[in-house]
Amino acid sequence: MACEKIFIRELHQRGLRLTPQREMVLSALHEAKGFETAEEIYERVRRLSASVDISTIYRTLDLLHHMGFVASVDAGDGQARFALTALQEPHVHLVCQGCGRIVGVPIHEVEPLLQALRARYGFEADLDDVTLYGLCENCRGSSPSAR
């Protein structure tokens, strides 16, 4: 895991260390196929060690999020979902309020919006943690209000 070396360096810079629990959460995030809830990550970690509790998972996810290694997105059901983003290019999240699907869109694709905000308002947007809610193509097609 290339991000593990970066994570260890960041932890040491903050006076923290790589605990077995942090390592297991990072490993579980690497195995994930997309965004997962803390409970889903907890179940992955429990397969490695039954001695880890859910509060450790939440604390570790919070730390990873604040360090910029993990994105946290609410898919509209009030439950945060997490995905490893440490080695990805910056992106914004599109969340379908119909099916809950989450799609990452590279920042360069929203650059025209950023340029318009700069030109018109002199505003420099920080898109480190942006989520846009709406309906995906499939859900728009099946929605009565979309017809």
CATH code where residue 98 lies:
3.30.1490.190
Counting the structural domains of the chain, the total is: 2
Q: Find the domain containing 106 and state its range.
A: 89-147
Domain boundary among 42, 57, 86: 86
Q: Are residues 112 and 145 in the same domain?
A: yes
* Pairwise CA distance, residues 107 & 93, whole Å: 10
Q: Does pTM surpass 0.75?
A: no
Note down pLDDT in tens along the chain; length 147 residues: 466 777 888 888 889 888 888 889 988 988 888 889 999 999 989 988 778 899 999 999 999 988 888 888 887 788 889 988 765 666 788 888 888 888 888 888 888 988 999 999 999 887 766 788 899 999 988 655 544
Helix and strand tally (H, E) in the chain? 6, 6
Determine the distance from the C-alpha atom of residue 34 to the mean position of all C-alpha atoms in its chain, rounded to a whole number: 9
137: tokens are 């193509």
Q: Are residues 75 and 141 in the same domain?
A: no
